Amino acid sequence: MRLVVSKGLRVKGGVRCGLAVVAEAEALRAGLCAGMDKGWQRVVLESNSKLMIDMLKGGGCSDSWVEGIVHDIRLLMRQFQTVVLSFVPRITNNVAHLVAALASKTHDLITSVNK
C-alpha cells in the first residue's frame, strides 16, 4: 500500500501553515499518523524538501517553527518497524506536485490510499 499525503496552506484541523518547511513537516506527521491508524509496520516518507529529510535523519533543526513537529515525527517514526526517508526532487515527482498545488487551492489536506 502507498499513502500519499499532500501539503497545502492548511492541514488537518484547519491549522494554517505559512512556511513551506512547516507544511512539509505537518504533512509528513499526518502521513505517519495515518500509517499508524492503518496498522502499518513499514513506511516510506518521500519529500521534495532535502532540508526536511536531513533534519529527520538527525541533522540540526534551526527553525523554531518546525522543531517541535520534527521532534513529533521522530517519536512517531519509532513506532514503525521500518521507516525509509527519501528525498525526491520535485521535478521527478510531478504527480505529487500537482496534488499539492490542488491542495493549496482548496486549502485542505489531501490523503489517498492506493493499493
The string of DSSP letters for 15-30 reads EE--SHHHHHHHHHHH
Q: Identify residue 105 by its one-letter amino acid code.
A: K
Residues of the chain with pLDDT under 70: 1-18, 61-63, 93, 95-115
Angle CA 87–90–96, to nearest 5: 95
Average of per-residue pLDDT values in the chain: 74
pLDDT of residue 16: 43
pLDDT tens per residue across span 42-67: 999 988 888 889 999 987 766 677 88
Angle between helices 64-77 and 20-38 (to 10 degrees): 20
Q: Which CATH architecture has domain 2-108?
A: 2-Layer Sandwich (3.30)
From start to end of the chain, where are the E strands?
Answer: 2-6, 10-11, 15-16, 42-47, 82-87, 110-114
